[in-house]
């Protein structure tokens, strides 16, 4: 889970941002004429609106450049032509990506340019449209490498094919050399791309070794037998990934810190027409499900027909087996999808010739025929495994039956929460100090620890749009609890009622009462613990709140530096020392804040709650696999992985607050 620094502003008043009237439609229309129509040539559109092509120009967009180039090499591997990919980051931030595939075609193109130049300078140009160059591919829009070229200060491509190595260089998307033969290829084949991201276009050009490493590991799992090597010369780190087990290895990795019910993952591999289907699944003793779906190596985070087919087959197969084995009586109701998915870890990967994705982000697969293909393959595979491993089958069904009983208890608890809330003051708990604003987009909820901090926050807030909910006592660790226990918690239930959107599968973001939910805890060990418990709750039971960008973490200062006339605040020791040096007086008073309750209302408003001066961190899930692993390690039942994590990370600690 990552967080980005943001400075949200107060709700904008009616009219213009300065409070004055907006321009009239007549005046705006008068300025819109034929001369207003612009035509952007070549890759100029990418440089003018980079967010349209890579999502953003922050760290996420920067790494997207790497994914675009690597995915081209992955496509060569999926087509059966590449067996190795090398990624290297140079000291100056230049990225090298090399594969042993077929190489980019060279030679005169009907446009009059060389084919190599067309691929790198023309949007929607590539060999992935007609099926001739690639039967299976992730990059179907033909904008990948040309976008990387447009957003790079410098790029060079070398293509080794037909007995020669051909090369061309570009500066900010424009060729600086023709396509030239630089020598014989010898034993070398494939494509090498080297580029340096344009600092004029990106907020940062600092790549994360861990982020790239996670993505490459995932790609190696999805393409068994493919060797991927990553080297970072900036920090002298290197990793190689190669998995003969493919998805089975992936599932074992995801469950590495969990107690599993079936020691050998259930594995399904089948080809249906032009569709290749590969599925691996394994149950553990936790309460959450962890399912990842991929289409042509693309993580379809919003699911799609392949996920639908998997879920249908899983529910049907387990119910059929439970009745065949006598674990479900004739009078018993069937297990639901929620019941059979508790504790499930699964990876679904389909590779198809003509995938239909929803939008450029490719977050959801839409091919209707895939649902039935996946369902048939998974149903057969699960049934065969359970018949051959009845002890595993019994453990899985018993866990599902326990989940069914807990689900019924949770339904009653949820109904009680809703019913109780409806009867007690418009669903609002007594400790909530609500705001006057009724538009969720303009409303903020501060979740604070303890009555002392809650009192300061209530006095210091702007009651027009800021609500305060104090939490008292130890917060429940939801990683170790089912939903029925969560909803009976004296701390969690008021929070669910205050937010108003429900929980789990019944969550409805349209009913969310605040679109800025801010966790505000003390800057000490206890505060960090409470913050982690709240993040775990939102990640496991309200993930849509995080995905929508509604969850934030307040950044109260650690130090108050005062000379009597001048008062400044610092959020770190380094900032404290810098401020002291700037003030340059010997009679300075430095106060270390241990808790929010130590600040008076005015100080808390000015430093932490005022939209004009505060800094908030927005919680985001950048890598779902890594996030799940971190929450399992830190908050799960097993102690040993947590000890190992602490030992490994201890050397990074600079200031330990005990």
DSSP 153: E
**Residue-wise over 211-229: b if at least 16 C-beta within 10 A, else e?**
bbbbbbbbbbbbbbebbbb
SS3 194: strand
Residue 232 annotated to the active site: no
Active-site residue identified among 162, 272, 320, 526 = 526
Three-state DSSP class for 44?
helix
* Lookup: tokens for 554: 């307040």
* Distance from C-alpha of 280 to C-alpha of 282, rounded to nearest angstrom: 7
* 526 is a catalytic site residue: yes
What is the edge-to-edge ordering of all strands in the sheet holding 567-570?
Answer: 567-570, 559-562, 589-592
Closest CA to 42 of 168, 149, 195: 149
Q: CA–CA separation, 466 vs 37, rounded Å?
A: 43
From the list 339, 444, 522, 626, the catalytic residue is: 522
How many Cβ atoms are within 10 Å of 80's Cβ, its own excluded?
10
**Three-state DSSP state, 303:** coil
Catalytic-role residue among 449, 479, 626, 628: 449
Per DSSP (E only), the strands in 44-117 are 84-89, 95-99
Q: Do β-strands 174-175 and 95-99 pair in parallel, antiparallel, or remain unpaired?
A: unpaired
Reading the block at residue 613, the tokens are: 């001066």
CB 230, CB 216: distance < 8 Å? yes
Q: Is 522 a catalytic residue?
A: yes
Q: Which two structure tokens, joined as six digits, stand for 509?
A: 């973001």
- Partnered with residue 184 across adjacent β-strands are 164
Site of tokens 């008076």: 600
Distances (CA, A) of 78 to 73, 96, 260, 304, 353: 9, 21, 31, 21, 11
462 is catalytic: no
How far apart, in whole angstroms, are the C-alpha atoms of residue 378 and residue 314?
7
Q: Cα torsion at 621, 624, 625, 629 (round to 10°)?
A: 50
Query: Which are the contacts of 556, defined by CB distance < 8 A and separation ≥ 6?
Result: 520, 522, 523, 571, 593, 596, 599, 604, 607, 608
Catalytic option among 285, 320, 353, 524: 524
Distance CA 281, CA 346 (A): 4
Helix runs in 557-599, H state only: 573-583
Residue by residue, what is the 3-state secondary structure of 592-631?
ECCCHHHCCHHHHHHHHHCCCCCCEEEEECCCHHHHHHHH
- What amino acid positions are annotated as catalytic residues? 449, 522, 524, 526
């Amino acid at each position: 889970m990552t967080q980005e620094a943001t400075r949200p502003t107060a709700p904008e008043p009616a009219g213009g941002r300065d409070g004055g009237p907006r321009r009239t439609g007549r005046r705006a229309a008068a300025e819109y004429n034929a001369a207003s129509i612009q035509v952007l040539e070549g890759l100029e559109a990418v440089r003018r609106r980079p967010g349209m092509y890579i999502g953003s120009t922050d760290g996420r967009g920067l790494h997207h450049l790497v994914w675009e180039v690597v995915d081209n090499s992955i496509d060569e591997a999926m087509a059966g032509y590449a067996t190795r990919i090398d990624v290297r980051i140079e000291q100056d931030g230049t990225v090298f990506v090399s594969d042993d595939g077929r190489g980019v075609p060279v030679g005169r193109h009907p446009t009059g340019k060389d084919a190599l130049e067309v691929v790198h300078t023309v949007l929607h140009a590539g060999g992935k449209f007609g099926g001739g160059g690639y039967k299976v591919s992730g990059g179907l829009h033909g904008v990948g490498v040309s976008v990387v070229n447009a957003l790079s200060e410098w790029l060079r491509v070398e293509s080794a094919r037909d007995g020669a190595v051909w090369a061309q260089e570009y500066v900010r998307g424009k060729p600086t050399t023709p396509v030239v033969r630089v020598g014989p290829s010898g034993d070398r084949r494939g494509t090498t791309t080297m580029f340096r991201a344009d600092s004029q276009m990106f907020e940062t050009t600092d790549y994360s070794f861990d982020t790239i490493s996670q993505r490459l590991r995932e790609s190696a799992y999805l393409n068994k037998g493919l060797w991927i090597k990553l080297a970072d010369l900036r920090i002298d780190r290197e990793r190689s990934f190669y998995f003969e087990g493919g998805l089975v290895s992936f599932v074992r990795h995801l469950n590495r810190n969990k107690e599993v019910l079936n020691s050998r993952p259930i594995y399904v591999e089948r080809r249906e027409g032009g569709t290749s289907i590969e599925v691996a699944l394994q149950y553990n003793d936790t309460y959450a499900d962890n399912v990842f779906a991929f289409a042509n190596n693309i993580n379809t985070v919003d699911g799609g027909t392949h996920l639908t087919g998997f879920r249908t087959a899983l529910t049907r197969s387990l119910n059929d087996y439970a009745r065949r084995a006598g674990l479900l009586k004739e009078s018993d109701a069937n297990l639901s999808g929620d019941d059979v998915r508790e504790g499930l870890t699964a990876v679904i990967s389909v590779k198809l010739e003509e995938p239909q994705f929803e939008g450029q982000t490719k977050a959801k697969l839409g091919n209707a025929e895939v649902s039935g293909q996946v369902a048939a393959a998974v149903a057969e595979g699960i049934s065969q495994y359970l018949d051959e491993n009845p002890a595993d089958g019994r453990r899985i069904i018993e866990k599902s039956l326990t989940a069914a009983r807990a689900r019924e208890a949770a339904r009653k608890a949820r109904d009680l929460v809703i019913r109780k809330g409806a009867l007690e003051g418009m669903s609002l708990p007594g400790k909530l100090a609500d705001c006057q604003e009724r538009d969720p987009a303009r409303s903020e909820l501060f979740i604070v620890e303890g009555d002392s901090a809650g009192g300061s926050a209530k006095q210091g807030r702007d009651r027009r749009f800021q609500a305060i909910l104090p939490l008292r006592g130890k917060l429940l660790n939801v990683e170790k609890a089912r939903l029925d226990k969560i909803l009976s918690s004296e701390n969690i239930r008021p929070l669910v009622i205050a937010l108003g959107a429900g929980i789990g599968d019944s969550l409805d973001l349209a009913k969310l009462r605040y679109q800025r939910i801010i966790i505000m805890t003390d800057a000490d060990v206890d505060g960090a613990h409470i913050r982690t418990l709240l993040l775990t709750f939102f990640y496991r039971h309200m993930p849509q709140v995080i995905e929508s960008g509604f969850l934030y973490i307040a950044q109260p200062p650690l130090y108050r530096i005062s000379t009597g006339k001048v008062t400044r605040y610092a959020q770190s020791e380094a900032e404290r020392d810098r401020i002291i040096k700037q003030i340059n007086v010997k009679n300075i008073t430095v106060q270390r804040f241990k808790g929010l309750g130590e600040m008076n209302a005015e100080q808390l408003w000015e430093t932490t709650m005022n939209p004009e001066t505060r800094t908030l961190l927005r919680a985001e899930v950048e890598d779902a696999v890594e996030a799940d692993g971190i929450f399992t390690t830190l908050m799960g039942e097993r102690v040993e992985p947590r000890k190992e994590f602490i030992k490994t990370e201890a050397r990074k600690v600079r200031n330990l607050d005990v």
